[in-house]
Amino acid sequence: MKKKKRYANAKDVLPEELFEQIQKHYTGILWVPAPSRFYQERRDLVLALHLQGISSQEISNLAGVTTRRVNQIIAAERKQGRDRQFSAASGK
């Protein structure tokens, strides 16, 4: 399986005018987040695969994240489920 490239040189991927404009405002490592729907879709994929009984290792390979991140997503969903149950029971 091919590893995805984590970083790219902005000069190699941006149009020259945009690159020059960015240089006027910032020099250094700059993180450009993916659209928020990307993260939601990936989270949904991780949870759906988990519910099918697929291992964290296999989910990490399929979703392109670390097994640690897979486990974080699953744990967060479990915590949210408990929080919702608590809120419903307490009338909040």
Say what percent of the chain tops pLDDT 70.
Answer: 82
Asked whether the beta carbons of 59 and 42 are under 8 A apart, the reply is: no
Asked whether the beta carbons of 46 and 65 are under 8 A apart, the reply is: yes
Asked whether the beta carbons of 80 and 57 are under 8 A apart, the reply is: no
The predicted structure's pLDDT at residue 7: 76
| Residue with the larger pLDDT of the pair 62 and 92 | 62
pLDDT range class, residue 3, cuts 50, 70, 90: low
Residue-range domain boundaries for the chain:
10-90
The model's pLDDT over 14-57, given as tens digits with 9 standing for 90+, comes to: 999 999 999 999 888 887 877 888 889 999 999 999 999 999 99
The predicted structure's pLDDT at residue 8: 82
